[in-house]
């Protein structure tokens, strides 16, 4: 039976189970537990946030194919709330409203861009969004990777297999993961779950976003366009609230909460979203031919031994452009944020994730 869920922002459709049996998915349980007592217990709401235009419309098509299996696997135990995004930042609004209304989980269906927005929806005005219904559980984050990149899923060792993702959701195992927060004076906070990067790679990501119709080739096209007129720049950084220091001729600076970006490049190979810290990798004085010669190392994560590549673990890092040009790009999870300066900080164990 299909009915509609009264949602003031997202207006998702709600596919309700006809079997009143519910599972206990509270945060202090690692797996679903059947409940057979009477009277019937309210079913748990799982809100699936879908970008139907993702991956050139492939996400929407794959979601329609997946929905019958999703209903058959989860529909007897949960309320399956489908919410289709209509444009940029809509997933943020949907997620905030779902958490406030007591959803058990919000599941991003798509690529890293959709996941990025859903993660940002877990926060508002610099703090976590609160459940207004005083539920005893916290809303969990879930993921069904269907997008172009799906780089965060790679860190967790997940395949782009939606049925495998549904099995994870069915088992309901939760684990706390870290989230990064990016701030700038007189501006609001921005959150990321995967990798934030600065200068050439961020510029490449900015251009790549224009070529998503070419799939993962968009990253190659974006990189080629970013190299045109590129100049390495001197940056200054402050690590863990210490003293400012100069990094000369920076090509790219990457702050990893997870390992991969750019469609499978293992840029911060030692990053772990459960570690409570970032891995920061800095590439200095790279020329265009360095990327061609060392591209395989960047993809397989063996580049830390390359000359002019450094790595360190940090809790906070501030980055500024010494020249003051205001033209050094920064992005997070493949989303363009603007330009330096910025401060990046880790929020340990900030979100519960179904994994």
- CATH superfamily of the domain spanning 2-172: Probable inorganic polyphosphate/atp-NAD kinase; domain 1 (3.40.50.10330)
Residue 28 near residue 87 (C-beta atoms within 8 A)? no
Segments making up each domain of the chain, as ranges: 2-172, 190-354
Name which residue leads in pLDDT, 44 or 92. Answer: 92
Orientation of helix 162-171 relative to helix 58-74, angle to 10°:
40
Two tokens, residue 147: 């997008």
Catalytic residue among 77, 112, 197, 333: 112
Question: What is the Rg, in whole angstroms, of the alpha carbon atoms belonging to the chain?
Answer: 21
pLDDT single digits (tens) 264-322 = 999 999 999 999 999 999 999 999 888 889 989 999 999 999 999 999 999 999 999 99
CA dist 303 and 203 (Å) reads 21
State residue 168's pLDDT score.
Answer: 96
State residue 220's pLDDT score.
Answer: 75
Fold for the domain defined by 190-354: Tumour Suppressor Smad4 (2.60.200)
CA dist 114 and 107 (Å) reads 10
| CATH topology agreement for domains 2-172 and 190-354 | no
Which residue matches tokens 């100069």? 246
pTM of the model: 0.87
Q: Indicate the DSSP class of residue 56.
A: G
pLDDT single digits (tens) 179-209 = 999 999 888 899 999 999 999 999 988 888 7
Q: Compute the C-alpha angle 293/263/225, nearest 5°.
A: 60
CA 246 to chain centroid, in Å, comes to 30
Give percent above pLDDT 90 in the chain.
68
pLDDT single digits (tens) 63-83 = 999 999 999 999 888 999 999
Two tokens, residue 328: 């050094």
Name which residue leads in pLDDT, 180 or 54. Answer: 180
197 assigned to active site: no
């Amino acid at each position: 039976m299909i009915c509609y869920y009264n949602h003031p922002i997202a207006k998702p459709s709600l596919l309700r189970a006809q079997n009143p049996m519910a599972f206990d998915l509270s945060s202090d349980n690692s797996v679903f537990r059947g409940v057979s007592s009477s009277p019937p217990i309210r079913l748990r709401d799982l809100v699936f946030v879908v970008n139907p235009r993702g991956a050139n419309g492939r996400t929407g098509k794959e979601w329609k194919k997946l929905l019958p299996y999703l209903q058959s696997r989860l529909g007897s135990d949960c309320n399956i709330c489908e919410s289709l995004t209509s444009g940029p930042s809509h997933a943020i609004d949907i997620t905030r409203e779902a958490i406030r209304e007591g959803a058990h989980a919000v599941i991003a269906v798509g690529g890293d861009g959709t996941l990025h927005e859903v993660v940002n929806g877990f926060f508002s005005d610099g703090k976590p969004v609160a459940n207004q219904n005083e539920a005893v559980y916290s809303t969990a984050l879930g993921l069904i990777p269907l997008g172009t990149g799906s780089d965060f899923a790679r860190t967790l060792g997940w395949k782009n297999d939606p049925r495998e993702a549904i099995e994870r959701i069915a088992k309901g195992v939760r684990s706390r993961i870290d989230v990064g927060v990016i701030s700038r004076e007189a501006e609001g906070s921005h959150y990321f779950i995967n990798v934030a990067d600065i200068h050439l790679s961020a510029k490449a990501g900015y251009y790549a976003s224009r070529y998503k119709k070419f799939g993962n080739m968009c990253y190659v096209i974006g990189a080629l366009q970013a190299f045109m007129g590129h100049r390495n720049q001197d940056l200054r950084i402050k690590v863990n609230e210490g003293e400012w220091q100069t990094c000369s001729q920076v090509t790219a600076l990457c702050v990893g909460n997870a390992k991969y970006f750019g469609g499978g490049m293992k840029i911060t190979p030692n990053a772990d979203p459960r570690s409570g810290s970032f891995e920061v990798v800095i590439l200095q004085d790279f020329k265009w031919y360095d990327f061609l010669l060392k591209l395989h190392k960047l993809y397989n994560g063996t580049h830390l031994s390359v000359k002019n590549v450094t790595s360190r673990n940090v809790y906070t890092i501030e980055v500024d452009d010494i020249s003051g040009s205001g033209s050094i790009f920064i992005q997070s999870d493949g989303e363009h944020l603007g330009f330096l300066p910025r401060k990046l900080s880790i929020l340990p164990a900030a979100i519960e994730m179904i994994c």
